[in-house]
């Protein structure tokens, strides 16, 4: 049972890393795309995030 607890802890830690990376991406790349005058760039970033959310 100890291994199960360790696996859950690692899984939780990885989820936190994933959320941190996503937050940084949203704050920089996506914000830049939305602030640009290129609607296709903004749409591409929106679709990228939608696909990420569908995987989870």
Closest-CA residue to 46 (of 35, 33, 27): 33
pLDDT digits (tens, 9 = 90+) for 1-56: 799 999 999 999 999 999 999 899 888 888 888 888 888 988 898 898 899 888 86
Its sign, for the CA torsion 38, 43, 48, 53, is positive
Query: For residue 5, which phi and psi values (nearest 5 degrees)?
Result: -65, -40
Q: What is the pLDDT of residue 16?
A: 95
Q: What is the pLDDT of residue 42?
A: 85
Return d(Cα 9, Cα 16) in angstroms, integer.
11
Return d(Cα 51, Cα 53) in angstroms, integer.
5
């Amino acid at each position: 049972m100890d291994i199960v607890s360790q696996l859950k802890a690692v899984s939780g830690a990885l989820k936190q890393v994933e959320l941190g990376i996503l937050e940084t991406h949203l704050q920089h790349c996506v914000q830049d795309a939305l602030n640009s005058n290129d609607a296709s760039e903004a749409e591409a970033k929106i679709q990228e995030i939608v696909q990420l959310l569908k995987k989870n």
